[in-house]
Amino acid sequence: MAPRSKPLMRDLPTTLDLLTLARELLRDELAPLLPPERQRDAHLIATAMAIAAREATAGEGWQREIEEALSDFYAEAGKGRLARFAADLRNGAFETSPSRAAAARAILWRLTIEKLREGNPQFLAANGLSDAGRQGQ
Amino acid sequence: MGLGDRQVALAQFLAEASDAEQVEIARIALLPGGAIQENWGIDANFEGGRLAGQQRLVLRTDALTGVPSSLGRLEEFAVLRAAFSAGVTVPQPLFACDDAAVVGKPFLVMRRVAGSAAGRPITLDPSLEAVRSALAERLGRELARLQTIRPPRADLAFLSPYDGPAGQIAEFRAYLDRHPNPRPVLEWALRWVETHRPDPLPPVLCHRDFRTGNYLLDGIKLSAILDWEFAGWGDPDEDIGWFCCKGWRFGRLDREAGGIADRRHFYRGYEAASGRQLDPERVKFWEVYANIRWAVIAMQQSDRYLIGGARSLSTAITGRRATECELELLMLLDPDGAAKQAAYA
């Protein structure tokens, strides 16, 4: 988890600390008291809170990095490159150039791994990819 | 409104449909599961008629919001009846009704079969360890039996003719065009599917949701294959790819046949009963297709909140699972990239 910076003016504990405490309370103390048919709901709430906490921790850093990677890929700056990238992949635009195709795949891997790192890191780990994409970081 | 408010009309319908003098409903309760359909358990006493005596039934009807491409209940009833007649292990279909005056929406009624469909106990319960291979083989045989149902069939005339995956690819792309967030991995995989279509085989009846989580186990015995709402004519390998899709392995990713066994057990049952040898390349195509389809379905589940306004955390959060499918697509279609990623891990 990234180091937690002290807020400029907001009261402590931080949002992230509160989320973590709330999730622990739900998972460890409340969920066991629920009837079996509501256990899954408690699990879903805990999962949603965990995703929110991980996204809050990660910020927008990796999204900006992928935007930059797409700007490099297309050799032009600006936003909205992801939609163009998707359209080009639909049309097989990089299939005649092995180096472009490989560069495109590298962006796909990065995008997918970063999303799963926030959404479902257990799934990454179960696929042997828990630290994938962290090379050189 | 629940079905409890419609008991009188429902009892009258059941009596008329079964030629009973009277039907008394002792208990009616919503069964767990069923994101797209509601399943109601009914305990009823039939006085006379074809079902005379105590009966345990399931009434299946639409949930508040469905997803595109699911059959109506009367159509599902016809499919269930065809599968039952072909000897597939399914709950016996009894009645169907589209008169809104009975419970407010169309429904079907079938016998209630004992067992549990919950995926994780099936894949993880140690007491099932000794029977999982045999279960996979049995499911392969069940699938082969289902595929004896082939077009043309007057009773299934409502099913669209099958002309290969091109139409579905176009539908997936049309969906992605409407979706606010670009999905480059799905676009990349769809391009692969478009350019790697296998030679066609004669179409068969596909379940289209044949997987762990959609069959009932009563102890160690397969008691029913459920949820026929997506059935249609299709390629014989489509259900094979769906069954083996990683999204349906419930915590046992290593067991590629539905989280319960190695593929060879499932394949062996299917090949023995169908007399057709499976081609790994064909199955790979349909497994890639399965991951795309599951990703789109997951996104459509979230749409029920995003567009339909359904206040359900369960459906809203399911859209996140699309990225799991995208990882699997990358692993299937870029094994060198997967090895490189794993080397960093």
Q: Does B344 touch chain A (CB under 8 A)?
A: yes
- Please tell me the pTM assigned to this model: 0.92
A7: left (phi over 0), alpha (psi -120 to 50) or beta: beta
> What average pLDDT values come out for chain B (345 residues) when binned by 10 residues?
79 97 95 79 97 97 68 95 98 96 94 95 95 98 98 97 96 96 97 98 98 96 96 98 97 97 98 98 98 96 87 91 98 93 77
The pLDDT score that the predictor gives to residue B309 is 84
In the block, tokens 């921790």 appear at: A57
Which is it for the CA torsion B341, A88, B294, B147, positive or negative? negative
Give B89-103 as a 3 state SS string: CCCCEEEEECCHHHH
Burial tier of B75 (Cβ tally within 10 Å: 0-12, 13-18, 19+): buried
Give the C-alpha separation, B1 to B103, whole Å. 10
Nearest CB to B345; choose among A89, A120, A131:
A131
CB contact under 8 A, A127 and B327: yes
Residue A4 has pLDDT above 80, yes or no: no
Alpha helices in chain B (DSSP H): 7-18, 73-85, 100-103, 119-124, 132-146, 166-178, 184-195, 238-244, 263-274, 280-306, 313-318, 322-333, 335-344
pLDDT band at A137 (very low <50, low <70, confident <90, very high): very low
In the block, tokens 């049952």 appear at: B269
CB contact under 8 A, B184 and A131: no
Nearest CB to A127; choose among B184, B253, B317:
B253
The pLDDT score that the predictor gives to residue B345 is 62
Interface predicted TM-score (ipTM) of this complex, two decimals: 0.91
Q: How many beta-carbon contacts under 8 Å exist across A and B?
A: 96
Distance spanning both ends of chain B, measured CA to CA? 52
The pLDDT score that the predictor gives to residue B344 is 72
CB contact under 8 A, B187 and A89: yes
Identify all chain A residues contacting B188, using CB atoms and an 8 Å cutoff: 89, 104-105, 108
Identify all chain B residues contacting A109, using CB atoms and an 8 Å cutoff: 330, 334, 337, 341
Residue A1 has pLDDT above 80, yes or no: no
Residue A133 has pLDDT above 70, yes or no: no
Give the C-alpha separation, B215 to B83, whole Å. 14
Mean pLDDT of A68-72: 95
The pLDDT score that the predictor gives to residue B341 is 86
Mean pLDDT of A79-103: 95
Q: Does B299 touch chain A (CB under 8 A)?
A: no
User: A86 CA to chain B: closest CA distance, Å?
Assistant: 4
In the block, tokens 């026929």 appear at: B228
For chain A, the average pLDDT equals 90
Give the C-alpha separation, B109 to B96, whole Å. 6
In the block, tokens 């195709």 appear at: A101
The total of other beta-carbon atoms located within 10 Å of residue A97's CB is 11
Identify all chain A residues contacting B323, using CB atoms and an 8 Å cutoff: 112, 115-116, 119-120
Residue A73 has pLDDT above 70, yes or no: yes
Give the C-alpha separation, A102 to A93, whole Å. 12
Pick the residue from chain A with its C-alpha nearest to B174.
Answer: A90
Burial tier of B187 (Cβ tally within 10 Å: 0-12, 13-18, 19+): buried
The pLDDT score that the predictor gives to residue A80 is 83
Nearest CB to A129; choose among B313, B334, B342:
B342
For helices B322-333 and B335-344, angle between their N-to-C axes, nearest 10 degrees: 110
Identify all chain B residues contacting A104, using CB atoms and an 8 Å cutoff: 188
